[in-house]
Amino acid sequence: MIVGLPGTGIGGMFYLLSALALPLREAIGRVRDRGHSVGWRVVARQTAIAGGILVGIWVTGLLLGAVLGTVRSHMAPGTGPHEGNAVRTAMLVLSFGTLAVVLFGVELLRLCLHRRTRLVTPIEPGSAAETQWPTERKVAVVGGGRGQGRGLILLVLLEIGTAAHPRTAVSQHGSVAAAGLARADSVFAAGDAKAAALAYAAVLAADPQNSRATYRLADLRRRDPKEALRLFQRYVALEPSDPWGYLAVADMLARLGRYHEAMQESDTALRLAPNERDAVMGRARVLVRAGRTDAAVVAYRQWLATHDRDPEAWREIARELVRAGRPGDAAHALERAQSQAFDPDVARRLAAVRAAAAPAFTPVVRGSRDSDGNTTLRLGGSAELSARGPTRMGITASREQVGDGFTTTGLDAVAVNATWRPRASLKVEAAAGAARFDGAGGSSATMVPTGAVRARWRAPARGPAFDLRAERSVIDASPLLVTNRVVRSELRGIVELPVAGGLKLRALGRAAALSDSAEVNHRTSFAGVVAFAATPSIEVSGQVHQLRYAHSSSAGYFAPRFAQIVEAGTYVEFEAGSVLCALDAGAGVQRVAAHGAHVGPWRRALRLYALIAVPLSPGLDLRLELDGEDSQIANETVTSGQWRYGSAMLSLRWALP
């Protein structure tokens, strides 16, 4: 087969230059003692042919010039014969230029496609790979460009230097790639991931289309999701019918937070292998990473409907059911997993989940003291019924003593609670009860109905969130407040919008009516928060709060006309062993304007909340909460204009077997 336009085209020019360069190549080859040599006789013959062709070209040009000159002089007497020279020169330059561009393009393409893989190839002294680096540098020099003609000559010289170079050739051959692949596989099987990655990279340097090496290398680089994604995508391009490639791409995309693309890749994998476990489970796992807990549960359930003897699937759905607030169902799933393949770690998880689902009793003791000398002590407890499905019921009761060093009073509270979590993203809590104020100063005890409804919704995949609450409760921070039967009825809403990455905006609005036996006061407050979640358990924020009271009050709470708070806050949650710690702290400034007075100066405002949860044994959890404020106007229970406050609460949740 003869390809192209034999004789003409840039092919002719290429072989002409190649032939003219043969003596040089042969000389270099003999100096370097290369194995392949065609001998001076052949070289001389080919060079002579090339010389003959040059003479032929020259004669052709001469004849062409003469013909054109003659034609021209006949048609337009007086014009010179020089146009023939111009045409010949233009043709020559065009041919050389085109050849140079094509050859340069090939070298550029080679550098683009093969350089990256070579960069990761281990280079041994004197190895074939080592000899390739100077080649690339030479091409880079050519790329620097001092004219196409010169570049062309350099390219041809480069080819002379590299063509048929045995060491270079050996580095590129497929059987070496095959042998390299076998070596890489054995290193991989031996568990040496670092050496295996180098070995697979070497295989790819020799054979960039080796799909097996591509997949393995990607697999070994999962810790670098971007690089792994690039390699897995390349694998998919090489093996477009392999669903596992799409699954791996989906996994990497999910790790990078590109959930929509990840789902598309998962769907492709599922289309290619609809009944394949890895495809179904892979899709479910992408849903998990995307935070789409409900969809993930559905995906796992679909698989388990026909493959109920898959302990891994049971374990994974159990984890999602816990996230969805369904410990009862999670316990059932883990029991199924354990019945098929016992795992001690899973046994511990099962015990914890059973405890979370079991009926429980939680005694609580809470005490507080503020800078005005008010103290409170609450003793109480709650009982939860067994969690079945999305609903959980319970009851709370407490007795609280409130004193200020001179007066002591108290109140009792009881409420029935219900929690309904139909979906992972939606949680509704409701409570209904009553508070009974002790009689004071000859008056009889008073009963006040209380209650609360709260709905929380958070979109999957860390989307926007809403928190709405309606509440009626008593204010019990001081004996005066209890005596005056101050009751707060409040509507509260929080909207959270993710912006980009971990950045989110939060807006809070509250409207409350504070009523007592003598009057009703109204308070409104707004807040804006810019928060950045560095990780799901670490958040920093900047907050601005503003609140207003309709009028001042003599019922026992501090009701300024206007108050502003600017603070920086942080929330950190971490686990030390099995102990969970959470810290919510804020530091800033605030200013207050009392009714009928000017706005006061900015003063410091500090707050701290800490939680420590210690699991003592399966089903027995100790919980300690600490709260402190140093603030002019921390919250509605502030009893004076300069206020400090501290409280501690200890509870022990005891799950009944």
Residues forming the site for other proteins (CB under 8 A): 1-12, 14-15, 18-19, 22, 25-26, 35-36, 38, 42-43, 45-46, 49, 52-53, 55-57, 59-60, 64, 67-68, 71, 98-99, 102-103, 105-106, 109-110, 113-114, 155, 159-160, 162-166, 168-176, 206-209
- 474, 437 Cβ separation under 8 angstroms: yes
Smallest gap, in angstroms, from Cβ of residue 122 to other proteins?
A: 17
| Residue 67 vs residues 55, 93, 250, 657: alpha-carbon distances, Å | 18, 21, 69, 111
Smallest gap, in angstroms, from Cβ of residue 319 to other proteins?
A: 43
| Shorter beta-carbon distance to other proteins: residue 6 or 274 | 6
| Shorter beta-carbon distance to other proteins: residue 29 or 325 | 29
| Shorter beta-carbon distance to other proteins: residue 20 or 397 | 20
Smallest gap, in angstroms, from Cβ of residue 318 to other proteins?
A: 47
| Shorter beta-carbon distance to other proteins: residue 211 or 635 | 211
| Shorter beta-carbon distance to other proteins: residue 169 or 540 | 169
**Cα(42)–Cα(40) distance, rounded to whole angstroms?**
6
**Cα(96)–Cα(13) distance, rounded to whole angstroms?**
7
Smallest gap, in angstroms, from Cβ of residue 195 to other proteins?
A: 23
Q: Hey, what amino acid is at 155?
A: L
| Shorter beta-carbon distance to other proteins: residue 57 or 397 | 57
| Residue 589 vs residues 420, 448, 461, 619: alpha-carbon distances, Å | 39, 37, 35, 43
Neighbours of 570 (CB within 10 A): 14
For the chain, the maximum distance between any two Cα atoms, rounded to a whole number of angstroms, is: 137
Closest CA to 292 of 260, 330, 314, 337: 260
Smallest gap, in angstroms, from Cβ of residue 573 to other proteins?
A: 50
Q: What 3-state class would DSSP assign to 478?
A: coil
Smallest gap, in angstroms, from Cβ of residue 249 to other proteins?
A: 21
Smallest gap, in angstroms, from Cβ of residue 277 to other proteins?
A: 33
| Shorter beta-carbon distance to other proteins: residue 26 or 384 | 26
> CA quadruple 247, 248, 249, 251: dihedral positive or negative?
positive
Question: DSSP string covering 29-69, please?
Answer: HHHHT-S----HHHHHHHHHHHHHHHHHHHHHHHHHHHHHH
| Shorter beta-carbon distance to other proteins: residue 172 or 552 | 172
| Shorter beta-carbon distance to other proteins: residue 35 or 441 | 35
**Cα(222)–Cα(203) distance, rounded to whole angstroms?**
19
Smallest gap, in angstroms, from Cβ of residue 27 to other proteins?
A: 13
| Shorter beta-carbon distance to other proteins: residue 58 or 342 | 58
User: Taking the C-alpha atoms of 339, 345, 351 and 357 in order, what is their torsion angle to the nearest 10 degrees?
Assistant: -90
Smallest gap, in angstroms, from Cβ of residue 112 to other proteins?
A: 9
- 473, 488 Cβ separation under 8 angstroms: yes
Closest CA to 202 of 139, 252, 255, 132: 132
In sequence order, the 6+-apart residues with CB closer than 8 A to the CB of 43 are 22, 23, 26
- Per this entry, what is the length of the chain? 657
Smallest gap, in angstroms, from Cβ of residue 242 to other proteins?
A: 19
Q: Hey, what amino acid is at 611?
A: L
Smallest gap, in angstroms, from Cβ of residue 21 to other proteins?
A: 9
| Shorter beta-carbon distance to other proteins: residue 24 or 650 | 24
| Shorter beta-carbon distance to other proteins: residue 106 or 520 | 106
- 241, 235 Cβ separation under 8 angstroms: no
Q: Residue 314, class by beta-carbon neighbours within 10 Å (0-12 exposed, 13-18 middle, 19+ buried)?
A: buried
**Cα(245)–Cα(251) distance, rounded to whole angstroms?**
10
| Shorter beta-carbon distance to other proteins: residue 7 or 373 | 7
Question: DSSP string covering 161-214, please?
Answer: HHTT-HHHHHHH-HHHHHHHHHHHHHHHHHT-HHHHHHHHHHHHHH-TT-HHHH
Q: Which residues pair with 506 in a beta bridge?
A: 496, 529
Neighbours of 399 (CB within 10 A): 14
> CA quadruple 285, 287, 293, 298: dihedral positive or negative?
negative
**Cα(450)–Cα(415) distance, rounded to whole angstroms?**
8
Smallest gap, in angstroms, from Cβ of residue 49 to other proteins?
A: 5
Smallest gap, in angstroms, from Cβ of residue 152 to other proteins?
A: 11
| Shorter beta-carbon distance to other proteins: residue 111 or 606 | 111
Smallest gap, in angstroms, from Cβ of residue 338 to other proteins?
A: 50
